[in-house]
């Protein structure tokens, strides 16, 4: 089972499940833990090969395999079943938003609402080229070189330095084989994202940084097609990892969204 941590709020029966992105770990949510722990029960999960879950497969012993989002979602559901949880609020970042959409698509009984930060909804020409380049280079270029390159590409501004450095430091836990496992996710990502483009019926909040120049435009386009249960908030002066770049604003927006459920 994945490594996870629970933080309990005895006065609440509401649960928030946090899902980080590729190359990260549950510690990317440290500014959210301080904000939400007093009023909500929290579950912080380290995905396969990330954070403390990486300790379950020591370097040199892990086996290469084809990862799928269905497998990654099943990992998360295993944790929720161990905790006997249903109808949770999910907060995800970057690639973690796709895992949440996978759960919502095939196991909606676990999902009460979705807060998707730095959401990946569709690959444009730019992101397809980046994905193809990474797949071509993954066996020849040291994976940490690729991680650092993409960290500076996705989070290039001085104001994003904290997010960038945290991303790079978390990636140091990931082995080369594990990196290649995660890269297999890119092969059918375009087709999978088309499946997730439909309205789920589950209340969904997209939180994007205005400087997330790779992914923001696709979220804007998608919400023009369906918006009955979906909402978009754009945080000024924030990038892809907006929950760290402007954490106070991110937390205020998320809290307001969650409090709407308490008033229903």
**Could you report the per-residue pLDDT of 34-63, keeping only the tens digit for each?**
999 999 999 999 999 888 998 765 544 445
167 closest CA partner among 73, 99, 222, 94: 94
Task: Name the residue with higher pLDDT: 152 or 181.
Answer: 181
pLDDT of residue 61: 45
Tell which phi-psi region holds residue 122, choosing left (phi > 0), alpha (psi between -120 and 50) or beta.
beta
**Could you report the per-residue pLDDT of 232-248, keeping only the tens digit for each?**
999 999 999 999 999 99
Confidence of residue 97 (pLDDT cuts 50, 70, 90): very high
Degrees (nearest 5) of the Cα angle 190, 220, 232?
Answer: 115
Q: What is the mean pLDDT of residues 98-104?
A: 94
219 closest CA partner among 127, 117, 130, 68: 117
Strands (E), the chain: 4-7, 15-19, 41-45, 88-93, 111-117, 204-209, 230-235
**Could you report the per-residue pLDDT of 202-243, keeping only the tens digit for each?**
999 999 999 998 889 888 888 877 667 889 999 999 999 999
Cβ atoms of residues 26 and 76 within 8 Å: no
């Amino acid at each position: 089972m994945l490594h996870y941590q629970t933080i309990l709020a005895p006065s609440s029966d509401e649960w928030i499940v946090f899902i980080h992105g590729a190359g990260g770990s549950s510690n990317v949510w440290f500014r959210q833990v301080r904000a939400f722990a007093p009023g909500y029960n929290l579950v912080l999960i380290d995905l396969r090969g990330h954070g403390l879950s990486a300790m379950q497969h020591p370097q040199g012993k892990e086996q290469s395999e084809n990862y799928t989002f269905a497998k990654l979602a099943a990992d998360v559901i295993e944790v929720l079943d161990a905790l006997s949880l249903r109808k949770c609020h999910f907060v995800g970042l970057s690639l973690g938003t796709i895992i949440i959409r996978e759960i919502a698509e095939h196991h909606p009984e676990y999902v009460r609402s979705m807060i998707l930060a730095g959401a990946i909804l569709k690959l444009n020409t730019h992101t397809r080229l980046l994905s193809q380049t990474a797949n071509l280079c993954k066996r020849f270029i040291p994976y940490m070189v690729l991680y650092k390159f993409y960290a500076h590409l996705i989070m290039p501004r001085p104001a994003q330095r904290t997010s960038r450095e945290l991303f790079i430091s978390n990636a140091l836990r990931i082995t080369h084989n594990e990196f290649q496992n995660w890269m297999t996710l890119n092969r059918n990502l375009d087709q999978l994202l088309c499946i997730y483009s439909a309205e789920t019926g589950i209340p969904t909040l997209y939180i994007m940084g205005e400087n997330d120049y790779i992914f923001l435009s696709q979220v804007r386009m998608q919400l023009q097609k369906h918006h009955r249960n979906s909402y978009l908030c754009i945080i000024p002066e924030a990038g892809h990892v907006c929950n760290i770049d402007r954490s106070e604003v991110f937390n205020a927006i998320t809290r307001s969204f969650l409090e709407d459920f308490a008033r229903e």
